[in-house]
Amino acid sequence: MRKFFSAALVAALLAIGPQAAAAPFPPGPVHIVVPYAPGGPVDIIARLIGQKLNEAWHQPVVIDNKPGAGGNLGSELVARAKPDGTTLLINTPALIIAPSVYKQLAYDPIKDFAPVINIGRAPALLVINPKLPFDSVGGLIAYAKAHPGELNFGSPGTGGSLHLAGELFASQAGIKMVHVPYKGVQPALVDVMGGNIQMMFDAVVDVMPLVKDGRLKALAISTASRSPLAPDLPTVAESGLPGFDFSLWYGLFAPAATPQAIVRQINHDTARILAQPAMKSEMQAHGLDLIANSPDEFRTAMTAEEKTWAGLVHKIGLTPN
């Protein structure tokens, strides 16, 4: 009798095991943390992705803006979150730049996160206050050399990718500029338009409407090739600073201990969304060249890029905060 019941119990466990393993994901609402203020390019991309995941999963996908400390506040929140796939992070190269510019970072971007998918890559625009007395990158460099330290450039926060874009520009141009960090893109743009600071780099999607309205003046595209969103606008490299090349990427991350099966499912579902013609067109309209790689490919690229950014920070002499 014992043998009979033991065999029956084993059979029952085997029967329910696959069903338990195949439990639908997500089990409830999913939160995508945006570690920057609402309205910026990271926020826009997160909301586009979140809406489609909401439809695919039949569960609420909530966008949580957690700005502060150059994106570190929101990133740390996700690094410490329950690793079940219901709390995700969307971030830019700022995530892997952070160890080079912050002495006491509360997380490790490689060890504390599971890369899910690199959504895409986009150029930035170099924009200035329209009242400034120059119309080109060459003119900006000449003015900065004649007025050392008078030009201020803004960014969404110290140590972020847009901050380093400005530092890279100043380093390669051999000019001195003052960095002014803000809590998000929008406050920085407001101050460029108001003349409180003179310039900044920002994503194409964020600033093109302001350029078209005449509230900002665009000087150049940050990438090595021109953007289809502004084909008549020269690159920084071809308009006064040869060799300059900078771009932003947008990636999804989960806490490090998240089961690989969940990571792969989120990757698969997001990649499928990005492959939809309407979504692809929407992303391209926001300046993104889609990547949609695998988690392993994303991790390999991140690890290599972290070393590249660390070398750049050392080269331009940034002192960790």
Q: What is the distance between the alpha carbons of residues 30 and 49, in angstroms, rounded to a whole number? A: 12
The whole-model pTM stands at 0.78
**Residue 26: cis peptide before it, omega within 30 degrees of 0:** yes
List the beta bridge partners of residue 249: 121
**Domain of residue 263, CATH code:** 3.40.190.150
Q: Are residues 141 and 111 in the same domain?
A: no
Averaged pLDDT for residues 41-63: 95
Residue that terminates a domain, selected from 220, 247, 274: 247
Percent of the chain with pLDDT over 90: 64
Q: Are residues 237 and 176 in the same domain?
A: yes
> What pLDDT is attached to residue 114?
98
Residue that terminates a domain, selected from 214, 247, 280: 247
Q: What is the distance between the alpha carbons of residues 98 and 304, in angstroms, rounded to a whole number? A: 15
Residue that terminates a domain, selected from 204, 220, 247: 247
Full domain range(s) for residue 150:
123-247
pLDDT, tens only, 145-168: 999 989 999 998 877 789 889 998
**Tokens 């990718």, residue located:** 161
Element (H, E) at 250: strand 247-255
- Check if the beta carbon of residue 248 is closer than 8 Å to that of residue 121: yes
> What pLDDT is attached to residue 5?
45
Distances (CA, A) of 105 to 159, 166, 315: 12, 22, 21
Domain count for the chain: 2
